[in-house]
Amino acid sequence: MAKLDVYVSDHCWSCEETPHIIADIRKQFPDVDIAVLDIDPAEWPQEIFAVPTYVLDGKVISLGNPSRERLETKLAAVCRR
């Protein structure tokens, strides 16, 4: 099963769109384990230096919100493996 971690933070204005993107993606990819992680900047993992950040199976795939089409393409490729 693919794992998508999405890092967001309260102070991030562009993170306001993230829940809408994730809601759409959850409908299209119900088998993907999706976690939205709202964390304090002081606690960000080393590989996270901006939010939102999308991490698919341990690999950063987007800094900032990707287009839905780009995210769908990435998830479809992983789900086909």
**In the predicted model, what is the mean pLDDT of the chain?**
92
Nearest to 4 by CA among 24, 27, 33, 26: 33
- What kind and span of H or E run contains 70? helix 68-79
Total of domains in the chain: 1
| pLDDT value of residue 21 | 97
* CATH number of 49's domain: 3.40.30.10
Q: In this prediction, what percent of the chain has a pLDDT beyond 90?
A: 73
At residue 81, does pLDDT exceed 70?
no
Task: Write down the pTM of the prediction.
Answer: 0.91
- Residue 3 forms beta bridges with which residues? 33
For 57, the domain range is 3-79
Between the ranges 7-11, 36-40, 55-59, where is the mean pLDDT highest? 55-59
Quick one: average pLDDT of 6-10? 93
